[in-house]
């Protein structure tokens, strides 16, 4: 079974995958959308070839049998990684705009689309948040080197960076504005929020370049849509639940299956 693991920052830059090392990870963020995946966070612990019994057993199995085995990607009911499956409710962006029933129910509607990033609104996309793991509330700068969290009712000298990124996505049919929260925003920008926050404060050119480098790249997006009303005005809000790089082979197989269904009908 294949599980994708994403490394960031120094871990990614210094990682040496030669020799197929055994990895032990504690505190990674798990996702089941588009196949099982894990992302190493700043608070995670990553050990390479740890001297523990389980690692030695895994090493022995891989050297004996595993290296010649064929592995399959973990699949859940949401479909395969980066390609999709029959139960993911695929929609192109023109279908989303044309279907007036989307988001009108008591519960949000979920669907999957392949989109290309054509614009990222970087203004005000980052904020200083409470450093507690259980809180992401925006902090109030007290102007004396301290920050106040109204939710936790305390002042702290440190913070963590959080992201809410507005992205305009396009496919062959239309475009769609989507709100991307921390995990999907970090994937699209290729950097963790803390790294981007440091660039924002210290190197504006590098910060801007990170957004430029993210343009015109395609992903498979799992989207949630719900009608929201504000000041008596209702509009469809579309949020990115998850994003994965496109598996072009899997995507091609899906399209061939769709063509065959059309030919048979």
CATH number, domain at 233? 2.40.50.140
Is the pTM value of this prediction over 0.75?
no
Structure tokens that stand for 18 in this block: 């030669």
Reference 195, options 37, 50, 9; nearest CA is: 9
Total domains, the chain:
2
Reference 40, options 49, 31, 32; nearest CA is: 31
Query: Has residue 85 got a pLDDT over 50?
Result: no
Q: What is the pLDDT of residue 56?
A: 87
CB count, 10 Å around CB of 76? Answer: 13
pLDDT band at 86 (very low <50, low <70, confident <90, very high): very low
Query: Has residue 72 got a pLDDT over 70?
Result: no
pLDDT tens digits, one per residue of 202-224 = 999 999 999 999 999 999 999 99
Considering the domain boundaries, does residue 232 fall inside one? yes
- Indicate whether 116 and 196 sit together in one domain: yes
- Indicate whether 189 and 242 sit together in one domain: yes
Q: Over range 106-130, report the average pLDDT.
A: 94
Considering the domain boundaries, does residue 86 fall inside one? no
Of 10 and 239, more confident: 239
> What does R_g of the chain's alpha carbons equal in angstroms?
21
- Indicate whether 106 and 220 sit together in one domain: yes
Of 32 and 227, more confident: 227
Question: Average pLDDT, whole number, for the chain?
Answer: 87
Considering the domain boundaries, does residue 103 fall inside one? yes
Considering the domain boundaries, does residue 85 fall inside one? no
- Indicate whether 101 and 44 sit together in one domain: no
Query: Has residue 71 got a pLDDT over 80?
Result: no
- Indicate whether 170 and 41 sit together in one domain: no
Q: Over range 71-95, report the average pLDDT.
A: 62
Query: Has residue 43 got a pLDDT over 90?
Result: no
Please tell me the distance from the alpha carbon of residue 3 to that of residue 17, in angstroms, as a whole number.
Answer: 15
Structure tokens that stand for 111 in this block: 């669907």
| Buried/exposed code over 79-90 (b: 16+ C-beta within 10 A; e: otherwise) | bbbbbbbeebeb
Range name among 25-29, 70-74, 251-255 with the lowest pLDDT average: 70-74
Considering the domain boundaries, does residue 136 fall inside one? no
Query: Has residue 152 got a pLDDT over 70?
Result: yes
- Indicate whether 118 and 25 sit together in one domain: no
Instruction: Give the domain extent around 183.
Output: 93-127+162-264
Per the CB < 8 A criterion, the answer to whether 212 and 141 are in contact is no
Considering the domain boundaries, does residue 10 fall inside one? yes
Q: What is the pLDDT of residue 81?
A: 43
Please tell me the distance from the alpha carbon of residue 191 to that of residue 193, in angstroms, as a whole number.
Answer: 6
Per the CB < 8 A criterion, the answer to whether 40 and 11 are in contact is yes
Q: Over range 16-27, report the average pLDDT.
A: 88
Considering the domain boundaries, does residue 205 fall inside one? yes
Per the CB < 8 A criterion, the answer to whether 211 and 120 are in contact is yes
Q: Over range 6-32, report the average pLDDT.
A: 85
The count of C-alpha atoms lying within 13 angstroms of the C-alpha of 240, restricted to the half-sphere facing its C-beta, is: 30
- Indicate whether 117 and 207 sit together in one domain: yes
Last residue of some domain: 65, 84, 101? 65
Mind spelling out the 3-state secondary structure of the chain? CECEEECCHHHHHHCCCCCCCCEEEECCEEECCCCCEEECCCCCEEEECCCCHHHHHHHHHHHHCHHHCCCCECCECCEECCCECCCCCECCHHHHHHCCCCCCCCCCEEEEEEEEEEEEECCCCEEEECCCCCCCCECEECCCCCEEECCCCEEECCCEEEECEEEEEECCCCEEEEEECHHHHHHHHCCCHHHHHHHHHHCHHHHHHHHHHCCCCEEEEEEEEEEEEECCEEEEEEEEEEEEECCHHHHHHHHHHHHHHHHHC
Query: Has residue 117 got a pLDDT over 50?
Result: yes
- Indicate whether 99 and 61 sit together in one domain: no
pLDDT band at 77 (very low <50, low <70, confident <90, very high): very low
Considering the domain boundaries, does residue 8 fall inside one? yes
- Indicate whether 17 and 106 sit together in one domain: no
- Indicate whether 101 and 216 sit together in one domain: yes
Query: Has residue 74 got a pLDDT over 60?
Result: no
- Indicate whether 98 and 193 sit together in one domain: yes
pLDDT band at 33 (very low <50, low <70, confident <90, very high): low
- Indicate whether 19 and 58 sit together in one domain: yes
């Amino acid at each position: 079974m294949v599980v994708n693991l994403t490394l960031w920052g120094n871990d990614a830059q210094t990682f040496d995958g030669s020799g197929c090392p055994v990895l032990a990870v504690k505190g990674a963020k798990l996702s089941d959308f588009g196949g099982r995946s894990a992302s190493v966070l700043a608070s995670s612990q990553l050990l390479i070839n740890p001297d523990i019994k389980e690692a030695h057993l895994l090493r022995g199995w891989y050297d004996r049998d595993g290296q010649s085995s064929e592995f399959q990607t973990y699949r859940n009911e949401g479909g395969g990684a980066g390609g999709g499956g029959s139960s993911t409710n695929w929609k192109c962006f023109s279908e989303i705009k044309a279907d007036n029933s989307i988001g009108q129910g008591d519960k949000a509607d979920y669907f999957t689309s392949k989109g290309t990033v054509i614009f990222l609104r970087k203004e005000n996309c980052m904020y200083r948040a409470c450093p507690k793991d259980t809180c992401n509330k925006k902090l109030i700068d007290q102007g004396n080197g301290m920050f106040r969290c109204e939710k936790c009712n305390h002042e702290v000298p440190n913070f963590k960076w959080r992201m809410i990124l507005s992205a305009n996505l396009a496919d062959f049919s239309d475009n769609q504005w989507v709100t991307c929260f921390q995990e999907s925003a970090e994937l699209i920008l290729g950097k963790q929020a803390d790294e981007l926050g440091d660039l924002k404060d210290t190197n504006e050119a590098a910060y801007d370049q990170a957004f430029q480098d993210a343009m015109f790249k395609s992903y498979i997006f799992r989207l949630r849509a719900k009608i929201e009303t504000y000041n008596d005005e209702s509009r469809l809000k579309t949020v990115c639940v998850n994003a994965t790089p496109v598996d072009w082979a899997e995507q091609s197989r899906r399209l061939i299956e769709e063509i065959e269904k059309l030919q048979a009908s």
